Amino acid sequence: MPELVAPDMMVIVSKAVFDKDSPAAKLGAVLPLKVYRSASKHLSRLGAGSRLFLVTVRPPAEALWLVAVLEELKFDGEKWQAARNRYPLTDISALKSQLKFESGKGIVAAKGALGMSLQTPRVLSPQDAELLLRAAGSPPPPRVRAPGPINLAAHDATSPLPCLCSKCLPGAAETVEVAGASYLRAQAEAHGRVLRFWVPAELKAELPAVRQAVLARMQENLKPLKQPAGDKQGSS
């Protein structure tokens, strides 16, 4: 019978790969991993809801580190793609004797052979997964974009005019004077984005035309934002 719940699994990241991809990584850092490159048949049991726990063995004392937890897994035939990892790099050496895996055999390895003993992906028990997640701590909540159009202005600390990026915008006035010249703040909005910009005050009478010109360029160069699946009309 097919499994009702797809299991979580543990896989090894070799020392060579870890050192190449994350040479300066320190415990506590959150590595932005979202791919595990493997077509191993041992991973065929992964399915909807499964999580892939990436670990690596670190010298000189064979410390076992949790590298990442990959969620929302999808296999493209060559690699497993996932949502970006949210869990910190964590030393889980103290758990080596507590992990039992689906087999119930735990980790059995001669001195100096821990990495080799973990070469084959292992199915975690629910208790194993709970131990690992508890050791890593609660991840920060996913970043949620503030409601409203996306601000296209990037931070600019070199311009003589006030920056209009999202962070600086609350402190920006509607009008400013720089080097004896006055400027008005204007904006144009299209396809869920807003562009704020400064216009010389002497062009105030022409501001509608300027705004319209900017709007036309935005509509020409920007594509509509994709709606989340649950927001599409007709979805249930």
For the record, the structure tokens of 25 come out as 């990584």
Rounded mean pLDDT, 177-195: 93
- Range name among 7-16, 148-157, 158-167 with the lowest pLDDT average: 148-157
Which overall architecture, per CATH, does domain 9-136 show? Roll (3.10)
Per DSSP, 228 falls in state: P
H or E, element range at 129: helix 126-136
For the record, the structure tokens of 204 come out as 């105030």
- Listed by start position, the domains of the chain span 9-136, 150-221
How confident is the prediction for the chain on average, in pLDDT? 88
Per-residue pLDDT tens for 153-167?
888 888 899 999 988
For the record, the structure tokens of 126 come out as 């629910």
Is the model's pLDDT at 194 over the cut of 60? yes
Per-residue pLDDT tens for 73-88?
999 999 999 999 999 9
Torsion of CA 169, 170, 175, 179, to 10 degrees: -60
Q: What does the alpha-carbon distance between residue 186 and residue 205 come to, in Å, rounded to a whole number?
A: 13
Is the model's pLDDT at 202 over the cut of 60? yes
Q: What does the alpha-carbon distance between residue 148 and residue 136 come to, in Å, rounded to a whole number?
A: 34
The predicted pLDDT at position 34 comes to 94
H or E, element range at 208: helix 207-221
Is the model's pLDDT at 145 over the cut of 70? no
Is the model's pLDDT at 1 over the cut of 90? no
Per DSSP, 87 falls in state: S
First and final CA of the chain: distance in angstroms? 31
For the record, the structure tokens of 97 come out as 């004797």
Rounded mean pLDDT, 31-43: 93
